[in-house]
Structure 1
Amino acid sequence: MITIPKKGSPERARLIAEHRACIDSMKGVPGCTILRCATPGDTTHVSGGIHEDLLLNRVLLRMRAAMPRSGRRKLVVICTEPDKSWRIGRLSGVRGVPPEFVNDTVYDNEQDPQHDIFLMRLDELDETDGMPEHFHEGWKRRDDNWTVT
């Protein structure tokens, strides 16, 4: 298994730099894809990112699959004003309960908060997070706030 790079390691700094480069090259493109555009904002020719960096691909997969620890819930980008402003929120984990904003930062594009979420999640993950022993059966759990009928 591939472990999450330790804080302060060159491998972690490389992952963060690659993620930032991909995010910057995708500005102007709707959504969030961790690939590099040959020309920023033009997805005609893409490379790098998750296609060429196996570790970055694995770390992102673990982030997306892992249940946040210590009561923290998933982080999401919330559009507060269509095509003008975005913020980062944390899901409540309960259906019908709205997410809460994590800070007062307001972004002028939808890509920058994605990179900040990547950094936040990287700090939240343990080095061994995402190993097979951390996974569970998901929908078969009874602590997922769904009513049992």
Structure 2
Amino acid sequence: MTIASGTAPSRSSSVGRTIGRVLLGLFLVGAGVGHLTIAREGFQAQVPPWLPFDVDFVVVASGIAEITLGLALLLLTRYRIAVGWIVALFFLAIFPGNISQLFVHTAAEGWDNAMAVALGVRLLFQPLLVLWALWSTSAWAWWRGRRS
């Protein structure tokens, strides 16, 4: 068994995972396009002040990364397990920025209690995105099968 091919899941599981992978891919492409266009200012507010790079560069680079990862999820099905791990690691890599935004109180539209609640809820969903990437690409099943 290789990381590229993985194991053969059941038919119903395979369809569910494929739908999940496609939805996650579309979500990432959409978010990436938002980074480059209409939501650019909002994403700039998420860049931690301690990051030693230009804020706009970080937003553009992360947008390009999201589009690339989304397209990889949609098109590179042969390498879906490897792509799943890379997407999961990407979600982990951006997590500190989300935490920073909550604690530094930065927002493009201004800061209020509703913004704090929204950011807190987003933090709760970040681990679900990691799990979604690992489940929908069979990366987690591959890992479990490899260990047994």
TM-score by shorter chain over 0.5? no
Q: Which has the higher helix share?
A: 2
TM-score, length-scaled by structure 2: 0.26
Return the structure number with greater relative CO, CA threshold 8 A, min gap 6.
2
TM-score, length-scaled by structure 1: 0.26
Q: Which has the higher strand share?
A: 1
